[in-house]
Amino acid sequence: MIRLAICDDHKIVREGIRQIIQGFPDIDLVADDISSGEELLQKLRKTQVDVIVLDVSLPGRSGLEVLKQVKIFYPETNVLVLSMYPEDQFAIRMLKAGASGYLHKDSSPDVLIEAIRVISKGGEYLSPEITKLLYREMNNKNQELPHTSLSDREYEVFLAIGEGKPNNAIANQLSLSAKTISTYRSRILNKMNMDNNSDMIKYILLHDLVPAA
C-alpha cells in the first residue's frame, strides 16, 4: 500500500487528485488537506508517508524550500512535484533538490498514477521533456542563459518580480523581509546584466518562463 500525501494550496487540485486515486486500492491517501509547507512538515512528524505530491507555489515556504527540508528530515519519503510551471522552468532545480519526478498539472490521470507507483518503489519518473532537459544540462547547452546562474532563492524572487509582484508581496510569499527582497533584486540585476524590473519581465516573457494558464 502506497501512503500518499498531497500538498497544494488550491483545494480544487487536492480534491481532483483525491477523486483520481479513489479507484486505485494500492494507494492510501493519508493526507489530502495540506495547503502549505509548514502543514506538510507538521504532518510528517506524526504520519508515515511514502510519496508526497508537492506543488511548487505555496504560501510561506516555497515548494523548493519545503522539498529540501523533507529530504533532510525524511529522506526515505519520495516526492513527486506537480506544478503549473513548465518543465524547463523548475524541473531541473527540483530534481537536484531531491524530487523523484516532476509533472505538469495538465498531465493525464494515468500518468499521475504511474508516476506515483514508480516513485513509491524508489524509482524516478522522467517525462520525455525532462529527459531532454537533463541531456541539455549534461552537455552544458543552456549555460549561456543568464537565469541559470541564479541561486534557487534568487530564481524564485526573479520569477515573482516577473509576475509583477511588489517587493512586499514577494516578501510575504517567501517569508522574508522587504529589505531582503531588495537585496536579492540587486543581485539578480547584477548577475543578469539588467537595469530594472522591466528588463526582467521582458526576459521572462522571451524565454517563456511563466506558468502555463
Taking only the tens place, the pLDDT of each residue in 144-174 is: 678 888 888 898 899 888 888 899 988 888 8
42 and 116 share one domain: yes
C-alpha cell at 80: 513527486
Nearest to 52 by CA among 69, 61, 60: 69
Strands (E), the chain: 2-7, 27-34, 51-54, 78-83, 101-104
pLDDT at 140: 61
The enclosing domain of 40 has a CATH number of 3.40.50.2300
Burial 79-102 (b: 16+ CB within 10 A, else e): bbbbbbbebbbbbbbbbebebbbb
Residue with cell 498531497: 6
**DSSP code of residue 125:** B
Handedness of CA 135, 127, 50, 63 (dihedral sign): positive
The enclosing domain of 175 has a CATH number of 1.10.10.10
Question: Amino acid identity of 158?
Answer: F
Query: In whole angstroms, what is the distance from residue 167 CA to residue 201 CA?
Result: 15
**Structural domain total, the chain:** 2
Residue 189 maps to a domain:
yes
Residue with cell 534568487: 154
- Quote the pTM value: 0.74
End-to-end CA, the chain: 34
Please give the residue range of the domain that contains residue 194: 146-206
Taking only the tens place, the pLDDT of each residue in 103-156 is: 988 889 999 999 999 999 999 998 877 777 777 666 665 556 788 888 888 988
164 near 202, Cβ under 8 Å? no
Percent above pLDDT 90 for the chain = 51
Q: Is 213's pLDDT higher than 70?
A: no
